[in-house]
Structures are given as C-alpha cells and as structure tokens.
Amino acid sequence: MRTGPASPDEHDDRPRGPLTQPAGWDVPARDAGSSVHWSVMNHDPQRSLPGWTRGGVPPRAQSRRAHAPAFPVSGAWREGDPQGDRRFADIGALELEAGGIIPAVRVAYETWGTLNAAGDNAVLILHALTGDSHVRGAAGPGHQTAGWWNDMVGPGAPIDTDRYFVVAPNVVGGCQGTTGPSSIAPDGRPWGSQFPVVTVRDQVAAEIELSRMLGIDAWQFVVGASMGGLRVLEWAILGPEAGIAVESIGVIASAAQTSGDQIAWAHPQLTAIHADPRFRGGDYYEAAPGDGPHVGLGIARQIAHTTYRSAVELDERFGRIPQGGEDPMRGGRFAVQSYLDHHASKLARRFDANSYVVLTESMLTHDLGRDRGGVMTALRSITARTLVVAVETDRLFLPAESRRIADLVPGAEPAHVLRSDLGHDGFLIEFDQLGPLVVDFLARATRSGA
C-alpha cells in the first residue's frame, strides 16, 4: 500500500506513474542527464552544434542536450551555512577500529521532546546512507529536504514526542554537520582524500560519547533502517559495554553482516565516483561550481536506486513507456530512465561524493560477529527486547537476513514483514504498516518494564 506522504530522504519521493507526472517533472531529470549528457555532451564539439546530424540521422543523444545549471561541487553542509535545527557536540578525539585517530570530532544532531526526570524516555533514531539528523521538520534554511520520517516522529505519532525525548545524530563520515570528508582538518583544509576509514563501530562509538554529553545513560528504544539498522545492532552490544543501557531496539530492513551481493552492488557505485575525473581522488572542494564529481555521484545513485525499488514496481509503474514526448528510437529516454536521472540530480545537489564513498565503505565492512566469535554468537549476546521488520520485496536487504536476526536474538519477536511492492524503500513509505508495529512494540515493551 502507498499511503501517507512519501519521504524526501535517501531514496525516493512520492510514488507516481509516468503518465501522471506533473508538468516540469523532466526539468530536474534533464539537469541531471545521463552519463552521455554529463560526460560526453560537454566534451564533444560536434554534438554541441544545434541541429547537427550525421547523414540526416538525428544524433543519438539529441534529446539530452539541454544545458544543465552548474551543480554545486558538494551538497555538504559547511561552516557558515544556516544552522537550521542542528545542534552540535564536540566529543573530542575518536580512535578508529582500523587504526588511526580523528583528533577532534563534532557531532551534529537534532532533538524533539523533553528528557524526563527519571531519564528513562530517551529514543535514538539512526538514519540511512544519504539521510541525516533531520528526521522531522520542514525544508528550509539549513535543511534542503523535509524530515525523512515525519509520519513516524512527532506529537501523537508512533514515536510520540509528547512522551519521548528523541535524538537523531548525523553519522561520522556524513556531510550534514558531523565531522566527515568535507569538514576542516587540522591543517585548515577540508579532509578530502585524507579522511580515514571509519567503521560502523566507530560511528556508534561517537554516538556513545554524544549520549554521555547529553546526560543519557539509558535508551528506551534505539531504532534505524538500512544503514541505520547496522548501527542499531552495534548499539545493542557496545552501549551496555560502555555503561549505557539499551532497553529495546528496532532493526528495520537491515542485516547483521554485509552480504557478497550487497558488496557487489556497491562496487560499481564506488567505481563510478572514483572514475569521475572531477573527483580528483577526493580533493575537489576548491573546484568551481559545476566542476565537481556530480557525474560519478549521480551514476552511483542510479545504480543504488535500482536496488531500493523492486522489479514489480518498476515494471508496473514505468514498463516500456517513453518519457514525455521523447522517442527512445531517436535519442530519447524511457520514463524509467528519466526517473533515475531525476534521482541522480537530486542527490548530486544535496549530498557529497566523498561521504557517499566513506559511508558505503563503512557498510561494506559491517560484520556484527567480527572479533566476537561470529554473527551467531554476537546476536545471541544481545539482551534488548528486539523488533525486527523486513520488506517482502526488498532486494538489497533480503527478508531472510531479518529473519536470521529475529531467530537468534533471545529477546526478539518473530520478524514482521511489510507487504509492499516498493522494495527496500518500503520502510520510508509504508507508514500505515510500520507505524502500528512500532506503537504496539513500544506499548508492550513499556508494560513489561523494559
């Protein structure tokens, strides 16, 4: 089912069929273009001549020649930009699992609600790959998009801010205020290519320090989906080890260990970014607008977005329908190609290529069982009450991976499955199913004294 407003966060906007797209839908798609538009049309003088044809045949990319406005070098939030609803905590040095240290880490975060006197109503929400701390709220100065889980968080919502104190941090390595590749390094220049390898455990270690600074020694509920779910599982182990209780967790469309299939899907995404000559090995922040790695980042997004949706949805929604008045026989696109171009453009304007690489690589190294005797042993060590949710058509985080978590965590309920044709993105859109699951779980957790 497709109810409630669709999220503007990491994967998609409101689902629409190609025949009901509003006027102007194709403008951002043309701005994004395809790899032909971005990398060839700007460097082939023959094809830049209006009306040029070879032997009277329309050039293959004729419909993609519209000049794109200059993309920002990076969509990262930078010092001096509007702060929006962000708050900041300087947590000091962060020692890294792979070796090395980040000497001074700042964590950007947002909060809603009030921590009660007992300190037992705190909820931690962990975002997915291209999300951030802006879980709830309008777009505006400092926030390029509206909250990515507006339906789930707020007064009277499943995670009720009249009852809970909700905290959402931006992840280390991200690009929306927390220390990452676009942040200023000790030498006074952006970290860029010098930003170190961070793992999911490093990211959670930073969130543990944030918790201490906020005076929180127990989380009633730690919840996240996709990449956020990886951190939830690490929190269930690292939190108690650090003296911060984790009473209950919600692991949504996620896994205890990155699979070979996920690593394979990520590889061409990373390759696309590294192969973009404007990536400059990661040191592109001083380039002019339009001279950043938006091509590689956009292609990476197109590959990833294909894994976020299901074959059923793409076939039913788009099929082989041409985009608008374009003719695929004469250089035009199919509607599904325009759809992917559109999402490439959106991400290239609001995200950072280096952060995409750093966070993707952190996901690839995710293994809850590393140095813990294996995944089975690690999952069996989790003591928190556990809600596990899968999406039936998810082809990135397969439902079987959710079932493994539910089967092995002692305090887990059987895995719940969202019935949806929307694939992995179901966790952002199927509010009518996910919301009641969270409400019921939290109610039962409270009654049990968790």
pLDDT at 449: 55
Q: What is the mean pLDDT of residues 431-435?
A: 96
The answer to whether residue 114 sits within a structural domain is yes
Q: Which residue has the tokens 């949706």?
A: 309
* Annotated catalytic residue, options 74, 183, 211, 226: 226
Answer yes or no: pTM beyond 0.85: yes
Nearest to 126 by CA among 104, 144, 145, 107: 107
Q: Return the sign of the alpha-carbon dihedral for residues 212, 217, 221, 227.
A: positive
The percentage of residues in the chain with a pLDDT greater than 90, rounded to a whole number, is 82
* Annotated catalytic residue, options 26, 202, 394, 421: 394
Q: What is the mean pLDDT of residues 369-377?
A: 98
The answer to whether residue 263 sits within a structural domain is no
Buried b (16+ CB within 10 A) or exposed e, 189-206: ebbbeebbebbbbbbbbb
Own/partner contacts of 312-318, CB < 8 Å, gap of 24 or more, are 312/393, 312/421, 313/15, 313/393, 313/421, 313/422, 313/423, 316/421, 317/15, 317/16, 317/17, 317/18, 318/17, 318/18
What's the pLDDT tens digit per position in 302-327? 999 999 999 999 999 999 999 998 99
Amino acid at 358: V
The CATH number of whichever domain residue 110 belongs to comes to: 3.40.50.1820
What's the pLDDT tens digit per position in 220-231? 999 999 999 999
Q: What is the mean pLDDT of residues 438-445?
A: 93
Q: Does residue 93 surpass a pLDDT of 90?
A: yes
Phi, psi values for residue 190, rounded to 5°: -55, 145
pLDDT at 348: 95
What's the pLDDT tens digit per position in 335-352? 999 999 999 999 999 999
pLDDT at 8: 34
Token pair, residue 188, equals 């006074």
Structural domain span for residue 188: 87-258+368-447
CB 113, CB 165: distance < 8 Å: yes
pLDDT at 84: 96
Amino acid at 410: P
**Could you tell me the CA-to-CA distances from 257 to 184, 205, 231, 349, 411 in Å, in that order?**
32, 18, 11, 31, 19
Q: What is the mean pLDDT of residues 115-132?
A: 96
The answer to whether residue 129 sits within a structural domain is yes
Quick check: is 226 catalytic?
Answer: yes
349 annotated ligand-binding residue: no
The answer to whether residue 161 sits within a structural domain is yes
What's the pLDDT tens digit per position in 239-250? 999 999 999 999
Q: How many domains does the chain have?
A: 1
301 annotated ligand-binding residue: yes
The answer to whether residue 67 sits within a structural domain is no
The answer to whether residue 240 sits within a structural domain is yes
Phi, psi values for residue 360, rounded to 5°: -65, -45
Q: Does residue 397 surpass a pLDDT of 50?
A: yes
Quick check: is 120 catalytic?
Answer: no
Quick check: is 424 catalytic?
Answer: yes
Token pair, residue 427, equals 């966790």
| Mean pLDDT taken over the chain | 87
The answer to whether residue 427 sits within a structural domain is yes
What's the pLDDT tens digit per position in 28-41? 332 333 333 333 22
CA atoms within 13 A of residue 359's CA, in its CB half-sphere: 29
Nearest to 122 by CA among 90, 84, 161, 164: 164
Cβ neighbours for 425, distance < 8 A, ≥ 6 positions apart: 11, 12, 308, 309, 391
The answer to whether residue 223 sits within a structural domain is yes
